[in-house]
Amino acid sequence: MNFDDTPEEAAFRAEARAWIDANAPKHLQPILSGSGHGTAGDIADFDMLAESKAWQKKKYDAGWACLHWPKEYGGRGATPMQRVIWNQEEGIYAQLSFTFIIGQGMCGPTVMAWGNEDDKQALLPPLAAGEDVWCQMFSEPSAGSDLAGLRTRAVKDGGEWVINGSKIWTSGAHISQYGILLTRTDPSVAKHKGLTMFWVDMRSPGIEVRPILQAHGQSGFNEVFFTDLRIPDSQHLGGVGQGWTVSLTTLMNERLSIGSGMSTGFETLMDYAVRAPGRDGGRLVDDPAIRSKLADWATKASGLKYTSMRALTALSKGEEPGPENSIGKLVAGATSQDIATFAIDLQGEAGILTDPAQAAHAARFQATLMRSPATRIEGGTDEILRNIIAERVLGLPGDVRVDKDVPFEKIPTRA
């Protein structure tokens, strides 16, 4: 049992480390190393966008972009393990890639699997180079966990499709050049059967992007409205009516992003607990009630870390990551919320303060408190993740689905 690289992995790591050391935008180090946890998923501001694009282009020119993609589309043809090693070595600079995660991690692979060759040649290299940002338009106001219940309508009109409807929770739509769009093309068949996927130029007339003001007062996601948007027929990905199968490609690729461990915030809490004074002149860690909480969260943070080491071991042997990796977000999301809530309790009434100059520990816990509800919802709610574990890992039956064989247009929409 060891954590050592194989000789090949070590050589790859050395090569990656040397290149990063010589080329990383080190002037950004103070900003990137100061950013707290719980903010991933919020698209950074426009200065950061320019820096992200510059770093991505530099990587692309040197052959370090989209490591897992084939070379012909701008990638490196690397193994999954090499991709993980790259991510580890890229460290804080990987935050500059957040802008491209959805495009390169989900949209690109979907286009690669289902698009025609001309489109792949035209679309994928600029995506790898960071020239284009892509977004993924799946969720709708009335179709979240029940994604196949989406209502955005695509109607064929000659050689084009006319799209009307709206999407929500679209990360980065406001800075995207392209997107993939899941639509309903046939409401007269069962809900999973009447869907079709398209790729779309986001600059087309008929698309309006509006930022959502989120519950914590920031805007990272958007609503996207389609009013008579026209898409050439050549832009559907996979067959008409095959959209559900195509969307699974996209969602499967999400799972491959293991090793990008989500933070529980435990280290921040521990850091706080050893520094902050407790009652009667002691430290917080001297209180058994506090220790009991800390110990439980310590085992969760550690358990996630070493679960990911086990997954990497399997990956290193050439095994594919399975649905068991769903536990990462499930545990980290709820734990980070619990930790933040507990940490502000420890601050007494001053736990309400949010000005980093006044609040304890630069108001990091307050920031996580307000962001963490989203973590438990985005990319699969806690409840959907539990279903995935129960059904695909433990082999329990799927839910009874009353709408399964009903034509979509006959499914009740009101209680």
Partner 1 sequence: MQFDFNEQQNEFRQEARRFLAAECSTDRVRKALEGGGFDRQLWQGVAEMGFLGIAIPEEHGGLGLGYLELCAVAEEFGRAIAPLPILSSVYLAAEAIKTFGTPEQQSEWLPKIAAGAAIGCLASSEGERLTEKSVRVAFANGALNGTKAPVLDGDIADVAIVLAKEGDALSLVLVDLSQDGVARKALETVDPTRGQASLTFAGAKAERLGERGDGWGNFQTLLDRAAVLVAFEQIGGADRALEMGRDYALERMAFGRQIGSFQAIKHMLADMYVSATLARSNAYYGAWALSTGAAELPRAAATARVSSTNAFRHCAKNNIQVHGGMGFTWQMDCHLFYRRANQLALALGSLPDWEEKLVMRLAAANEPLAA
- Binding-site string for partner 1 from residue 140 to residue 179, where x marks contact by CB under 8 A and - marks none: ----------------------------------------
**Should residue 399 be labelled a site residue for partner 1 when binding is judged by CB under 8 A?**
yes
**Should residue 364 be labelled a site residue for partner 1 when binding is judged by CB under 8 A?**
no
- Binding-site string for partner 1 from residue 273 to residue 312, where x marks contact by CB under 8 A and - marks none: xxx-------x-x--x--xx-xxx-xxx-xxxxxx-xx-x
In the complex with partner 1, the residue whose CB is nearer, 209 or 290, is 290
Per CB under 8 A, contacts with partner 1 among 324-353 are 324, 327, 330-331
Which of 218, 240, 386, 406 lies at the binding interface for partner 1 (CB under 8 A)?
386
Find the shortest distance in angstroms from Cβ 5 to partner 1: 7
The string of DSSP letters for 277-324 reads: B-GGG-BGGG-HHHHHHHHHHHHHHHHHHHHHHHHHHHHHTTPPP-GG
**Should residue 413 be labelled a site residue for partner 1 when binding is judged by CB under 8 A?**
no
> Is 254 marked active-site?
yes
Instruction: Put residue 276 in one of left, alpha, beta given phi > 0 → left and psi -120 to 50 → alpha.
Output: beta
Find the shortest distance in angstroms from Cβ 26 to partner 1: 24
Look at the chain and count its residues: 415
CA distance 133 to 103: 6
Find the shortest distance in angstroms from Cβ 318 to partner 1: 13
**Should residue 205 be labelled a site residue for partner 1 when binding is judged by CB under 8 A?**
no
Per CB under 8 A, contacts with partner 1 among 7-36 are 9
Let me know if 50 is exposed, middle or buried by CB neighbors in 10 A (0-12, 13-18, 19+). exposed
**Should residue 133 be labelled a site residue for partner 1 when binding is judged by CB under 8 A?**
no
**Should residue 5 be labelled a site residue for partner 1 when binding is judged by CB under 8 A?**
yes
CA distance 48 to 111: 27
Catalytic residue among 160, 223, 254, 391: 254
* Stretch touching partner 1 by CB under 8 A, among 4-12, 101-109, 154-162, 348-356: 4-12
Total of residues contacting partner 1 (CB under 8 A): 53
- Sign of the CA dihedral 94, 311, 333, 256? positive
Residue 374: enclosing H or E segment and its boundaries? Answer: helix 364-375
Taking the CA atoms of residue 41, residue 245, residue 315 and residue 17 in that order, the dihedral angle to the nearest 10 degrees is -40
CA distance 319 to 389: 19
Find the shortest distance in angstroms from Cβ 333 to partner 1: 12
The two tokens of residue 168 are 């929500």
- Binding-site string for partner 1 from residue 233 to residue 272, where x marks contact by CB under 8 A and - marks none: -------------------------------------xx-
Let me know if 96 is exposed, middle or buried by CB neighbors in 10 A (0-12, 13-18, 19+). buried
Query: 138 and 182 in contact (C-beta within 8 Å)?
Result: yes
Q: Which residues face 223 on adjacent strands?
A: 168, 210
Which of 389, 403, 406, 407 lies at the binding interface for partner 1 (CB under 8 A)?
389
Neighbours of 397 (CB within 10 A): 7
Pairing label, strands 178-184, 134-137: parallel
**Should residue 398 be labelled a site residue for partner 1 when binding is judged by CB under 8 A?**
yes
In the complex with partner 1, the residue whose CB is nearer, 6 or 116, is 6
The two tokens of residue 72 are 């012909």
Find the shortest distance in angstroms from Cβ 381 to partner 1: 12
Q: Which positions are catalytic? A: 254
Binding site for partner 1 (CB under 8 A): 1-5, 9, 270-271, 273-275, 283, 285, 288, 291-292, 294-296, 298-300, 302-307, 309-310, 312-314, 316, 324, 327, 330-331, 383, 385-387, 389-391, 393-400
